Amino acid sequence: MTSDLDLKNYAVRTDLVIEENANKTSNKGVHVEEKMEDGIKVTSMVINQQAAASMHKKAGAYLTFEAKELRTGDTEIEEKTEKVFAKYFAQFLKKLNISEYASCLVVGLGNWKVTPDSLGPSVVENVLVTKHMFDLQPENVQPGYRPVSAITPGVMGVTGIETSDIILGVIEKTKPDFLIAIDALAARAIDRVNTTIQVADSGIHPGSGIGNNRKELSRQSLGIPVIAIGVPTVVDAVTITSDSLDLLLRHLEREMSENNPSKSLTPSWMSFGEKVDYKGLKLPSKENRAAFLGMVGTLSEAEKAQLIQEALGASGTQLMVTPKEVDFFIEKMGNVIAEGLNAALHNQVNQKNVGAYTH
C-alpha cells in the first residue's frame, strides 16, 4: 500500500514545539493569539520572514483548532467544531483578500486504500461542488454561491504521476482563483492525534513526512493562493517513546511534590481516571531526571530522539501508529471539515441547512 502522509517537515504540522517557540519569539517576527470559543481552542499565528528561518517554518498565517473530545466521537463537539471552523476559515479567506465570488479548487490529497491517509478524499466526497452549474446553467445559480470544483489526484505510487503536475494541469485548464488542499498529518505529540485541525497559507509538501518528498504545492509553484488544511491521524514510534518518557518524568515529579505515590498515571487523552494535563507540568530538574531515569533522563531532546531511533533500529523508526477507531474518525472528520468548508465558501449555506449539502 502507498501512503503520502505528511509529517515532521510538513508546512502545516501538528507540533507543540512550534507554539512554544512562537511564544518565546513573539517579539521577533511572530504574532500569536489564543482564544476559547464554544469549548474549541483557536490559535492564530503569523510568522514573518525574519522568524521563519529560526522556527524552520515558512512565513505565513497559521490557524489551529483543538478539541480533545473530537477523538471520542461526541456529535455535539463535532457540531461545535464545524461551526467554529467555518467562522474562522471564512475570516481567514478575507484576511488573504480572497473575494466571496472567487472560484475555488478543493484538492483531497491522500490514498483511499490507507485509512489514516484518506482524509482528503473523504472531505472531497462531501464538498458542495458548483462550478459545473456556473459553466452550464449560470442563469439558475442563485446569489450566495461561488464556483467550487474538487479533485482527488491520488498518490504517486498509484498514478505514477507527480501530484503537483496533476493539479497544475487542472489549474491551467479550469483557472481557479485559489486552491484548498486537505491532507492527513502525523502528530509530534501523542495527545494531538485526532484532536486538531491545522490551516495555513504557506503551502504543502505531499509525502514529505515519510521521506517521499514530492514537489511542493504553493503560490510559488502553482501561481495561485494555496491554503492547506491538515488533521493529525498518526504518530511515529520515536515520538510515542519520547512522549512516554517525558510523561513518566512529569508524573513522578508530580507525585513527589504531592507526596502521594499511589495516584495512577492517567494523561488527558485517556478515557478513564483523573484527567491530568501533563503538558502543563514542567519536567523535573536535571538532578531529579537523573535520579528517575539515570543518564537517559539528562539527555537533550535531540539526543533522546537519536537514542530511541538507534534502539528501535531501522524498521522500528518507520513505524507509524494510528488509533484503532481511525476509520470512524476519518468519516466523522471528513464531514466536519466538508460542512465547515461549505458554510465558509458559500454565503447561502449556513448552520441551519449545511447538513443538506453533505452525505
Q: What is the pTM of this model?
A: 0.83
Residue with cell 483557472: 175
DSSP class per residue in 314-343: HHHTT-EE--TTHHHHHHHHHHHHHHHHHH
Grid cell locating 279 = 503538558
Burial of 115 (0-12, 13-18, 19+ CB in 10 A): buried
DSSP class per residue in 121-186: HHHHHHS---HHHHHH-GGGPPTT---EEEE----HHHHSS-HHHHHHHHHHHH--SEEEEEEEEE
pLDDT, tens only, 226-275: 999 999 999 888 888 888 888 888 888 877 777 665 566 665 555 555 55
Rg from Cα positions in the chain = 21
Burial of 219 (0-12, 13-18, 19+ CB in 10 A): middle
Which pLDDT score is estimated for 2? 38
Which pLDDT score is estimated for 291? 85
Which pLDDT score is estimated for 121? 96
Which pLDDT score is estimated for 271? 54
Alpha-carbon distance of 341 to 333, in angstroms, equals 12
Residues of the chain below pLDDT 50: 1-26, 209-211
Number of alpha carbons in the 13 Å side-chain half-sphere of residue 131 = 15
Q: With contact defined as beta carbons under 8 Å apart, do 8 and 120 qualify?
A: no
Grid cell locating 107 = 484538492
Which pLDDT score is estimated for 264? 63
Which pLDDT score is estimated for 58? 83
In the beta sheet, which residues pair with residue 32? 45
Burial of 199 (0-12, 13-18, 19+ CB in 10 A): buried
**DSSP tag of 68:** G
Which pLDDT score is estimated for 124? 96
Cα 109 to Cα 11, 93, 114, 192, distances in angstroms: 14, 21, 12, 21
Q: How many other C-beta atoms are found inside a 10 Å radius of the C-beta of residue 169? A: 12
Which pLDDT score is estimated for 167? 94
